[in-house]
Structure 1
Amino acid sequence: TQVCKAANALKELGVQRGDRVAIYMPMILELPIAMLACARIGAPHTVVFGGFNAEALRDRINDAEAKLVITADGGYRRGEPSGLKSNVDLALESTSTIEHVLVAKRTGQDITMVEKRDVWWQDAMDGQSDNCPPEEMESEDLLYLLYTSGTTAKPKGIVHSTAGYLLGVSWTHRHVFDLRPDDDIYWCAADIGWVTGHSYIVYGPLANGTSSVMYEGTPTYPGPDRWWEIIDRYKVSILYTAPTAIRAHMKEGHQHTEGHDLSSLRVLGTVGEPINPEAWIWYHKYIGGEKAPIVDTWWQTETGAIMISPLPGVTTTKPGSATFPLPGISADIVDEQGNSVPFGSGGYLVLRKPWPAMLRGIYGDPERFAETYWSKYEGMYFPGDGAKRDAEGYYWLLGRVDDVMNISGHRLSTTEIESALVSHDLVAEAAVVGQPDPLTGEAIFAFVTLKRRADVNEDFGAELRAYVGEKISPIAKPKRLMFTPDLPKTRSGKIMRRLLRDIASGQKLGDTTTLADAGVVEQIQSASLESKDDE
């Protein structure tokens, strides 16, 4: 009913099939309603994460040539209202295609409403019919655009189609999570502004008739047990989240789960980056009660749906491994020349055959599409990730290939060194980058956050370096260690290693628009300038 009313409201505001609609909202119900209303009338949506600034919003509106923006007065973060409409007003000073702004009321804060352009959501809904026949679409018609940051140039508008995408997300959601739609309470603790939210909060779960939890807020506010209280209250049976969130809870301590019944959980999932074995074991032990299988999923905005993952109850898992490609997914690991590498070795992850939910292009830029994904190996999709297969053929993702360092001719994965650091009992989180070094080419620079209970002396740095040397090899010992209260992360929770690389090499910082907390970077940067090499 709500979707049909919203769809009719969009039509009344002049939105037609094929028009692009920008959506810039907090995690409130109007967000999925707006997405589905767009889909119903054949108007592709482009959701812009509510944590982005006016500049990022402007760039996405201009690239998509959006006709309408749907937003809210603001959202809540750590209990405080945070403005959104003010960013829209700023962005629209430098756009030419927007005709109307639809504004949902969330926080009640004072905002400016521009006459004839801006319309309150509730006013637009009032009096609308709850009948809106869906537009008949072709299977390859554009369902949505979602922008993902490029390494250099402007963000890339990833194109997803109607039929293939829906098939991919519904099938993977059903099978990867062993979904029982009549019984499960499912919670994907992501933000809809990212692809995880599109595929596994909105489209996949709704296509499968799933009862879901949707949450606006941070994992540890108003208290460190916030998530565990929600799981207990709603008897959540499937939890899908990012390793960063798991490590945030590890940092707070497992004692916060005590007093909450988590026995309803039967499947746990992770997404967004490789999970280090220590976090996997903590998640398994304290959240899953050592009985809930963990599905460590590898995929990306461009793939649309999960590609490599265990199947619960079917695949024997190993902490930190995404295990095997799903049925029908032709993944492989190849060397620089494109030849498959034998078991027990690593290289570049590729996909050899198409799959239903794959991206159909970069919006308005076919040359960049070809160059970014198809130019490294002829006839193979290259996602930009490194991986290795162990002796049994299990896939271990090593992160972006630009996260591989060359130390005296040895290729070392930042993921492996980070996992070694985090496996130390007192380490909560770690990020490793390469630092230019006149002797070895690159040197290992580790940024480390300790657990709250850690009480260490000045010798701890040497102890930690020796620990990594024992875990991996003496060549993997960080040349430089920096202890920091937090790490710079994107608003989706991924550690921004690019900024840490800039700090390590003393360069001017690159784009920081996606940072969750810019103060962290300034803090680390000033500490880096003051400190000397920890030899």
Structure 2
Amino acid sequence: MAEDWAHRWTRAAEELVWDTPWSRLYTPEEPYGRWFTGGRLNIATNCVDRHAEREGDRPALLWEGEPGDRRAFTYAELRGAVRTAAAMLRGLGVGAGDRVALHLGWLPETVVAMLACGRLGAVHTILPTPLPAEALAERLDDFQPKLLLTQDGAWRHGTILPLKARADEALSAVGGVEQTIVIRRTGVDVSWYAGDRWWHEATGVETCTEPERPEARAAEHPLLATPMANRRGRPVSAVHGTANVLVTASTIHRYGMSPGGVFWCAGDITWLGAQVHGVYGPLSRGDTAVMFEGTLDVPNRDRTWDIVERYGVQTMVTSPSVVRRLRGWARRAPDQCRVSTLRRIVTLGEPIEPDLTRWLRDQIGTGGLDIADGWGQVELNGVVRLDRPVDATRIPEPGLAIVDENGATVASGERGELVLTNPWAGMLRGLEGVGAEDAARHWRRYPGSYATGDVASYRDTGDPHRPELIFHGRLDQVISVSGQLVSLTEVREALLAHPFVADAEVCERSDPRLGRSLAAAVVLATGVSTDNTTTLARDLLDAVREVLGGLARPRALCFVDRFGPELSAEARRRALAVLLAGAGEEPCTLTWDQLLAAAREDPVPGR
């Protein structure tokens, strides 16, 4: 293994505080390898305590709620809040290895709970606030938490989501949760049951019995679990280790994303990228992290630029989908005084189109804004590569290569599967769920490499060390929508579960305004009336949203007379993608003959 590779990882790890230094950097061991053998550290020490001891008055969190309320925490105040929350959790019986589910939006208490769990060695997961009760119950049943944290209600686009009520309904179908801690956020009335406690009362004790210095944990002690898109209808979650998260988050933050200063990750906290790069990254470096609870068009579509101006944001991280919305909302570019502090924008989660990059650079930054695009995966703990990093010499080389089905490197311009040929410290530490075995194939396809499942190609830039990486989608039936993975199989199964549907297909489509989105085609059951296709389509799409959430809701739907045996499932999806590429949100009607004709024009028939 290259000496420079090991040197960079060593330097990255040495920038953290270790209670016990590791004895060996990396051990090649199936399937993921072992990192930092013998090392012990604590995430709260590295993200809070060490900064509080040196510069306790430095702002750590600048938080703004959707209705406009604001709160700020210095590092000294954040340290006190984390210690108090850890003492509360410990008093409720939570210890190392126990599981805590956070059914929370992006609140200061969410960040405090994440760090308090890490301080104790408890494993946490963050469950999306829009989940309906049935889907929430499934997530809880998969994760098996000892304790649940939720809110009375959550603000979302000017309305209140009834989180506590949904949690109560979900818990009635799931066993094992011993306590529910409720954060008072909106003031709505909630039902109360045995084991329920208010956060403000549980953390409002006069004295804190939590030790001054947190107990060190083994380097790979599990820190968090995050659900991945289901494979073939089978759930699977990735479990990430403490040092694995810390080392990569800290390194990518400072040398990939931000040279320092006020940092804002404009994304949903349930997105792993927001947790790693919006919380652990900036806090591990002692930076100031801006956090926003709601949607960026409330109360108006200038909210993004209001936040940048109010807090002096210097680096902003978001997804291309958010940038597209910002461009669509903009009648004109914001006044330059409002974005005068902004120096850098980093996009994650999906490829960004050149015209979006130009809009950011020319209209928002008037030519002086640095734009970078990052690639990574849930399995790899977020971002691995940026096309314009802050300092490329300090980021360990993942050894990206593009190979054919036999593992041979393809020529420049040819498509193949993207693989990592070097070990990556952020690699997950385990897979959970009945779909884990199916997901584990990424470590078996090419000996000595990790297969990403992404189809890509290289474009020559004249610099042999920095060719342009072009992405062309996925090998499996999982796509990235607004930075989060969505399973086409899951969406299809949700449609098939509707009594009006006899058959269904779901495909990915590219929209110049919205980016990647889903489109669906259904064959209706015998006897179902088509007198009002608009109402019927809305019912079908709403059923998908209720089960899987808003990102999984197809943006276009068509009704097809039948699906014949002439095409494979993949060829059928490709034909639908062609026919529905320009479709609006109003339902349309297609025939099977039209799909066959589109498939015949496909340059890769039968794939």
Which TM-score tier does this pair reach, normalised by the shorter chain?
0.7 to 0.9
Match of 1:320 in 2: none
Match of 2:564 in 1: none
Question: Which structure 2 segments of 5+ residues have no match?
Answer: 1-79, 462-466, 482-504, 526-539, 560-584, 599-607
Q: Secondary structure at the match of 2:116?
A: helix
Q: Counterparts of 1:56-455 in structure 2 under 5 Å?
A: 56-115=135-194, 117-127=195-205, 129-130=207-208, 131-132=210-211, 133-180=213-260, 184-255=261-332, 257-258=334-335, 261-312=338-389, 326-363=395-432, 368=437, 371-392=440-461, 393-402=467-476, 448=511
Matches of 1:370 and 1:110, distance apart in 2: 42
1:161 aligned partner, one-letter code: G
Matches of 2:139 and 2:365, distance apart in 1: 39
Query: Deviation per CA, 1:150-187, whole angstroms, max 9, x where unpaired?
Result: 2322331101001122101111101112422xxx1110
Match of 1:462 in 2: none
Q: Would you say how many aligned residue pairs link Structure 1 and Structure 2?
A: 444
Q: Secondary structure at the match of 1:349?
A: strand
**TM-score (ref. length: structure 1):** 0.76
Root-mean-square deviation over aligned CA pairs = 3.2
Matches of 1:259 and 1:68, distance apart in 2: 47
TM-aligned CA distance change 1:397 to 1:44, over 3 Å: same
Normalized per residue, the structure richer in strand is 2
Deviation (angstroms), 1:289: 2.5
Q: Secondary structure at the match of 2:407?
A: coil
Match of 1:23 in 2: 102
Deviation (angstroms), 1:277: 1.3
Deviation (angstroms), 1:205: 1.1
Deviation (angstroms), 1:414: 12
Q: Secondary structure at the match of 2:160?
A: strand
Matches of 1:292 and 1:66, distance apart in 2: 44
Matches of 1:57 and 1:161, distance apart in 2: 24
Matches of 2:248 and 2:159, distance apart in 1: 37
Question: Which structure 1 segments of 5+ residues have no match?
Answer: 316-323, 405-412, 416-441, 451-486, 488-493
Deviation (angstroms), 1:230: 1.1
Query: Deviation per CA, 1:85-139, whole angstroms, max 9, x where unpaired?
Result: 1111111111111000000000001111113x10000110111534434232111
Matches of 1:361 and 1:414, distance apart in 2: 22
- Check the 8 A contact 2:375/2:384 in 1, yes or no: yes
- Identity within the alignment, %: 33
| Among 40, 45, 52, the residue aligned to 2:124 | 45
Deviation (angstroms), 1:377: 2.3
Matched, 1:515 2:549: yes
| Among 504, 523, 528, the residue aligned to 2:587 | 528
Query: Deviation per CA, 1:265-308, whole angstroms, max 9, x where unpaired?
Result: 11110011111111121122222322121110001111103111
1:503 aligned partner, one-letter code: A
Query: Deviation per CA, 1:203-256, whole angstroms, max 9, x where unpaired?
Result: 111111110110011122211111011111211110101100111111123515
Matched, 1:503 2:496: no
Matches of 1:92 and 1:79, distance apart in 2: 27
TM-aligned CA distance change 1:128 to 1:160, over 3 Å: farther
- Check the 8 A contact 1:8/1:129 in 2, yes or no: no
Deviation (angstroms), 1:503: 2.3
Query: Deviation per CA, 1:444-463, whole angstroms, max 9, x where unpaired?
Result: 9967576xxxxxxxxxxxxx
